[in-house]
Structure 1
Amino acid sequence: MTKSRRQKLSDELRSWILPSTSNIIIQGDVDPNEIHRCLLRIRERQLVPFIPWGPATIQIALARRSPYIQTSHRVSGVMLANHTGITSVFKRMLDQFDRLFKRNAFLEQYKKFENILGEFDDARATCDELQKEYKASLETSTKIMIAQWSCMHYRMMCCDVDVGTRAMGKLKSCSLYRQCRNFNLILGLKIDLSHIDMPPSISRRFNEYLAAQPKLDADPAIRLATQDKTYDVFIAGSGPIGATYAKKLVDAGFTVLMVEMGSADSFVSAGVDDIQVPGAHKKNEIIYQKNIDRFVNVIQGALNTVSIPTSNLAIPTLDPNVFQNTKDKPFISLGKNPKQSPFDNLGAEAVTHCVGGMTTHWTCATPELHPTIERPKLDNDSSKDQQLWDRLYPEARSLIGCFQGEGKPFEKNRVFKPLPLACHRMSNPDYVDWHSASNILQDIYVHPEKKKLFTLLTNHLCVRLAVDTSSKPGSVKIALAEVKNLLKVASGSSFQESTMYFKAKVYVIATGAVKTLRRVLLSILYNSGFNSPKTPSYVQIPNLGKYMTEQPMAFCQVMLKDQLIRNVPTNPYKLPWWDGKVDRHARTYPNDPIPIPFRDPEPQVTSPLSADYPWHTQIHRDAFSYGAVAETIDTRLIVDFRFFGYVEPRAVNYIEFESDIQDPYDMPQPTFHFQMSSDDRGRAHRMMKDMCDVALELGGYLPGSEPQFMTPGLALHLAGTVRAGLDQNTTVADTNCKIWNFNNLYVGGNGVIPTGFGANPTLTSICYAIKSSEAIIAQLGGGSGGDKTPVIQDGTYRLANYDSGLYWDISSSTSGTNITVQDGDDTDAPTSQKWTLKFDKNSGLSTFTSVYASNLYAGFSGSALQGSALVGTTTSAKFTIEKSGNAYTVKENNSGLFLTVTDDEKPCNVMLTGTSSAQTQWNFYTV
């Protein structure tokens, strides 16, 4: 500490050492006061980050003689920075306090004060928490400072115990190592001597001693874990992204635990037994189907604003006698954030806490992202990238149940077309069933065998993740998840009673429902210390929260032109169903001045984003948290215009979390830092002009809803904060959504989309979740919930051979199909695995429309046999799939036609699609 002022501390040391004012100096002619002054100088210059809450009363302690170091030098000393000494100091202090308190040794003089004894309990609890904080901060790979003093000078050096023989060589040259014979000191300082050629006798004794010691866990939560069961996959979040992960993984035979901080407050009946599936869209209630504007209040009640600036809040008209906040101490509860600049804020950014997340009240818009302007790259090869999206988008639409409309998603010239929606018209066409996360989870709930593999815990908050102490650089492993039971907290339970620890093989953080719960996701990762300077560099996630993107949004409402309404009876578009509906309404309601039927569906129109018009448009009528129409105006005359722009991802737009301010759930309070670039602002201006031009073609502005830019964040499409991509230097995760350098931590939601976009991102986020689920299935191999017996449920069969790692799914949408699945190789040898799948159906398998093969992990992809017809027998068609070495062969035995896929590294993903005369669709895949 008394080294030359000109000698600077290295950046590496500065990012690791957290000295407090507690130190132990062994006797010598170094004045403790000088050490204290050096510490103060280092703190003042901010050369090393000090712990601000360290006990100020613990300064310098002296020892008469070192019990560990034998030296002929007149002076020698060891400085233990930060946690090493303070933990034991606190322990001795607390033990002494407990002994004295038990004997009432010092309490008599305090008993005359009312309720004073409770303060002693609070003080002891505070000290106990401090001790735990210090103890939890011990790391297996710690940095130590070893100081030696001689009669003329001293030496100081910093050693990194993980850098190998280089640092160990320096340590070996130190007289401290040569003279050290106490193994407790070695273990206490966490010095790894495995790479040093120690004398045989010392090496043998040290290894024996080390083997007998219990393994030290860096995170105390690991020692506190009481859950005996280990799940295959832990999922935080129950929106459509979490639901997609759950469905894909349960279908593959894995046990899944899903935790949701909100409650299950909306359900839909499914199956013959009317099983209640949580996470239903609340707009399906009849009252809102009758009057969409009443749904505005539901949305407003579900949204919680994220960050509210209070630093400049002053209410001059308040009664002077009431309590008011001050500039030095502004309000901080319920999202109030004095550190939030109103100029950088996303003031309307809000979150929803419930099963299903924002899909319980979303618009259900599910467009694709523009392939060259918005859509991210999954592969650097453009053809492979296109093939991946061509496969993922259809599956995503199938999962959430989307109506795409006619025509291509993107046209060369500007067109207006139906807005793709996740919904369907019911038997009575006056009503619409709006889809949500429940549509994805429904398959799990209605099949008893699948439900056994799935557990959902509501009102359970994932607080943080604990890192396994065996983690190495480039291969960090999550050991468990810490979860808080919010209902037990509400009932007054203690921390121990309300806190649970769950172990899993893989962890998925998908706490964003459909649109923007990135805040919760980031809170978990930040709360886990993944961006803390205390955390080893290889555990940190450097791009976490950066490159945040938002959608500038223009809005207006118009009342339709008089001439448009008067033309309705003339059927201007010559549609065959038009005249009947209009005439029937006129006869039934002759006093209605508007010729549009009462239950005519709300318009849902879009003009997709293009190079000439680089913004997404929604021309429709729907309920939002704003834009409600007065009850005196007939909503059949109102059309909403919502135009969504995009911003380019920039590292200067980011979200950070405050350690000293908590949100209502005691998680770190987020602070936004967001500004649009000059290009972004110019594009938004052109978007506003375009919206006005289109709107005035249809009518005039509704008073109070004239064209305006909405408060930033109101689109609720925050993204980019856990971006997934191909460049590790600018992303958080790879394209399988696995966080870089972690081997069992995945993320999901809009935050993974690394590009700026104007369209609704839900469908694209589901695509990422599908791809990520496939990667998890490949990583885990076999599910702990299955065996070699096929799972057969309503035409869905699964055969999983966990010895070879091959899986086969055969699904049929037509009832009455009898499918037998056979393992053709009893030896189960992974180098030669043969599967025979036999389909028995009266109509037979008449056509085989396409074969598509792709390897998502090694970069192989290709297609063949498009449109080729295969002739099957009237009673059966047999396929044989063989694996030999690194080759897979798919063969149709009747015709002898086959497809071979070869991969040198990992198993390929093979998909075959066939169609029978009864429109039976079969999907086969293996990972």
Structure 2
Amino acid sequence: MPSKTLRADTFVVGSGPVGCAFARTLVQAGQHVVMIDAGPLMSPRPGAHLKNSYQYQRNVDLFTSVIQGHLHLLSVPPNDRPEVTLDPSAYRFDRSRFKGFVTDGQNPEQDPQRNLDAEAVTYGVGGMATHWTCATPRHHPVLERSDLLTAVEWNELYQEAEKLLNTRTDAYDMSVRHRVVHEALSEEFTELRDPYQVRNLPLAVERRTDDPSMVHWSGADTVLGPLAIMNLEEDCSLLVRDEASGGSLTLYPEHLCRRLALTPDGERVEYAEVVDLTRSAPIRVEAGNFVVAGGAVLTPQLLSASRVDRPALGRYLHEQPVSFCQIVFHQALVDSITADERFTDRVNEHHKRNPEDPVPIPEDDPEPNVWIPVGEQRPWHCQIHRDAFHYGGVPPNVDSRLIVDLRWFGMIEPRAENRMTFSGCCHDTFGMPQVTFDFTLTPEDRATQHRMMRDMLRAASVLGGFLPGSEPRFVAPGLPLHITGTTRMGTDSQTSVVDTDSRVWGVDNLYLGGNNVIPGSNASNPTLTSVALAVKSARRILSPAPA
């Protein structure tokens, strides 16, 4: 029996940027929205970006441990290798007699050759947006964008999503390193034409006016806007009322949706089964509409647990191959800073404060954020910047001002064979069906990624020499955390899970949001596109099509 029943106009599962885009659109239209997240509240403003802290802006490498602490690997194959240095007197057993036994949450159904080894999720209010890179480019109109929407629709939705995320391209114009990198690459890639030449990376970030050496990174709280100023209630929920519309948003951290219960005919969700994880208390949530925006793995997981099975559920899984390296600036590039009249005042002021510092880059100089967009002859997205990642650590004896990261994101052909499945017997930490990945690249995909690596090497050679330990390589599959397609949008219920308004086929009041809805290939960061599609879906909830 549920300990209580909650009622709302719309119930939203997931509090990342996509869930918050649904919530804000609906609340400001007068709806009463209940939102839950399985993870805890991690900041005074719900879903704020944790990198806005002073110490992480002064030394971005310190943020690496924060990212590592928030990522939960999804599928770890069994490892039967013995611990040969274990004390001989310690307990052990004959593994040949217990072949079905696994430890430490390993997944006995996972083939390590077909796994996305590094694929992970974040449990917490704000989701991945508490530590994301904030890169928000628009998808390429031919190679990446779906033709299910018109160019006019895409443009209007992208404009709205850019407002919600506070996307800008000018936050790093004043950076010495940004200009040096931008100009060096522009001189090298002269064959690229507008709008696919070397450009500033679109970012959900704003430079602070009170201290121009600092920025404010957008999180899920940015998407909520005025709704992020919430009051703590007696039941530990967070509540905000929108005076203009009369709507409201109630947020419940550490609440897990275990199942969506359908009506007997399967055409509507009747209620959601939720558990308060802090009290182990079951809760029933009744609503007119239900939105699942838990990410590209946890969203299909909930549908599978709810027996909302569709032929395409979990299929057409797309994840971006990524090549990566770090370079240390060429001597000539560093020397050119001193000789450049544009930087004279800043360099002189820096040396005045730090006369023993041989590097002509101010200690508070913002990092570069440069972009080479996806192009029809170059089907990969390129980021040249400095950021904290859970890979690519910096040796302590190398000045971090001289280091630049290069990340080239590739695209593959979506195939139904690339998929995730959910176990009927194994469960994850939260007691939900364990996910198993089945993912491979085609020969054509592999050839394209080799071309992408060659292109990254071309850019790297212009900027500097490789940092020891961060020489060019492909990162582990799944490491971008950019899965798309697992509940993809379409016009055919056999090859898609949702229609063009992100409504699940055959269930009138169930909508999905997130990267999982994106139907096709993509190399660019998917968040902006997912927020745009969430806005479209929220508008459909507010103005349902006639029967």
User: Is TM-score (shorter-chain normalized) higher than 0.5?
Assistant: yes
SS at match of 1:422: strand
Match 1:279 to one of 43, 47, 51: 47
Report how far residue 442 of structure 1 moved. Answer: 3.1
Contact 1:235–1:256 (8 Å) recurs in 2: yes
Specify the structure having the higher radius of gyration (Cα): 1
The verdict on how the C-alpha distance between 1:429 and 1:547 changes in structure 2, with shifts beyond 3 A counting, is: same
Amino acid aligned to 2:337: V
What is the letter of the counterpart of residue 298 of structure 2?
V
Is the counterpart of residue 307 in structure 1 residue 79 in structure 2?
Answer: no
Tell me which of 385, 394, 419 is aligned to 2:201: 419
CA displacement at 1:331 relative to structure 2: 5.4
Partner of 1:595: 360
Structure-1 separation of matches of 2:379 and 2:82: 41
User: How far did residue 313 of structure 1 move?
Assistant: 4.2
Q: Could you list the per-position Cα deviations for residues 247-301 of structure 1 after superposition, in whole angstroms to 9, with x for gaps in the alignment?
A: 000011011000110010123xxxxxxxxx2111000011111111000000000
Q: Does 1:437 align with 2:220?
A: yes
Name the structure 2 match of 1:520. Answer: 298
When residues 325 and 692 of structure 1 are mapped into structure 2, their CA distance, relative to the original with a 3 A threshold, is farther
Task: Give how far 1:326 is off.
Answer: 2.5
Contact preservation (8 Å) 2:300, 2:314: yes
TM-superposed deviation, 1:309 = 0.4
Q: Trace 1:355-434 onto structure 2 (pairs within 5 A).
A: 355-379=125-149, 385-405=150-170, 411-412=193-194, 414-427=196-209, 428-434=211-217
CA–CA distance in structure 1, aligned partners of residues 540 and 34 of structure 2: 18
Identify the match of residue 481 of structure 1 among 252, 263, 272: 272
Shift of 1:727: 2.8
* Higher RCO, 1 vs 2 (CA within 8 Å, ≥6 residues apart): 2
Q: Is the 8 A contact 1:311 1:338 kept in 2?
A: no
Map 1:35-54 → 2, pairs under 5 A: none
Is 1:243 the equivalent of 2:8? no
Query: 2:437 and 2:227 mapped to 1: Cα distance?
Result: 38
Structure 1: gaps of 5 or more residues: 1-223, 268-276, 380-384, 490-497, 513-517, 532-540, 780-856, 858-904, 907-927
CA distance in 1, matches of 2:450, 2:95: 39
Contact 2:144/2:520, CA 8 A, preserved across alignment: yes
Q: Distance in 2 between matches of 1:414 and 1:765?
A: 22
The AA in structure 2 aligned to 1:724 is M
- CA deviations 1:416-461 (Å, max 9, x no partner) are 1111000000021100100110111232244743596111111100
SS in 2 for 1:700: strand
Q: Deviations over 1:161-207 (max 9, x none)?
A: xxxxxxxxxxxxxxxxxxxxxxxxxxxxxxxxxxxxxxxxxxxxxxx
Q: Which of 340, 348, 352 matches 2:122?
A: 352
Query: For the Cα contact (< 8 Å) 1:260–1:460, is it kept in 2?
Result: yes
Q: Give 1:17's aligned residue.
A: none
Instruction: Give SS of 1:506's match.
Output: strand
Go from structure 1 to structure 2 and tell me whether the alpha carbon gap of 1:510 and 1:333 turns closer, same or farther (over 3 Å shift): farther
1-structure distance, mates of 2:94, 2:462 = 50
CA separation in 2, counterparts of 1:335 and 1:764? Answer: 33
Assess if the C-alpha contact under 8 Å between 1:414 and 1:610 holds in 2: yes
TM-score, normalising length: structure 2: 0.90
Contact 1:333 1:664 in 2 (8 A): no
Question: Which 4+ stretches in 1 moved above 6 angstroms?
Answer: none
Q: Secondary structure at the match of 1:763?
A: helix
Compute the TM-score of the two structures, normalised by the length of structure 1.
0.54
Partner SS for 2:167:
coil
1:767 aligns with one of 518, 532, 545: 532
- Indicate which of 289, 292, 295 corresponds to 1:509: 292
| Counterparts of 1:311 and 1:457, CA distance in 2 | 37
Contact 2:6 2:283 in 1 (8 A): no
2:330 corresponds to: 561
Task: Look up the equivalent residue of 1:524 and give its one-letter code.
Answer: L
Distance 1:229 1:309, change over 3 A: closer
Percent identity for Structure 1 against Structure 2: 42
Counting matched residue pairs gives: 513
SS state at 1:393 partner: helix
Residue 777 of structure 1 is matched in structure 2 by: 542
Q: Distance in 2 between matches of 1:225 and 1:672?
A: 34
Corresponding residue of 1:119: none
Instruction: Please state how far the C-alpha of 1:522 moved relative to its aligned partner.
Output: 1.7
Taking the aligned partners of 1:603 and 1:308, their CA distance within structure 2 comes to 35
Cα drift, residue 729 of structure 1: 2.4
3-state secondary structure, aligned to 1:348: coil
> Mean alpha-carbon deviation: is it higher for 557-566 or for 579-588?
579-588
Q: Tell me: CA distance 1:729–1:404, structure 2 relative to 1, closer, same or farther (3 Å).
A: farther
Equivalent-residue separation in structure 2 for 1:652 and 1:352 (angstroms) = 26
Change (3 A) 1:325 1:542: farther
Hey, what's the Cα distance between the residues in 2 that align with 1:765 and 1:356?
Answer: 15
2:33 is the alignment partner of 1:256: yes
**Contact map agreement 1:332 1:661 (CA 8 A) in 2:** no
In 1, the alpha carbon distance for the partners of 2:2 and 2:494 equals 35
Deviation of residue 488 (structure 1)?
1.1
Which residue is 1:465 aligned to?
260
Amino acid at match of 1:740: W
Measured in 1, the distance between the counterparts of 2:76 and 2:87 equals 23
Which aligned pairs between 1:330-729 and structure 2 lie closer than 5 A? Answer: 332=102, 334-379=104-149, 385-405=150-170, 411-412=193-194, 414-427=196-209, 428-446=211-229, 448-449=241-242, 453-471=248-266, 476-489=267-280, 498-512=281-295, 518-531=296-309, 541-571=310-340, 575=342, 578-729=343-494
Q: Is the 8 A contact 1:334 1:663 kept in 2?
A: no
Of 657-666 and 724-733, deviating more is 724-733
The match for 2:498 is 733
Residue pair 1:311, 1:339 contacting (<8 A) in 2 also: no
Q: What residue identity is the alignment partner of 1:656?
A: T
**Residues 229, 360 of structure 1: alpha-carbon distance in 2 compared, 3 angstrom cutoff:** closer
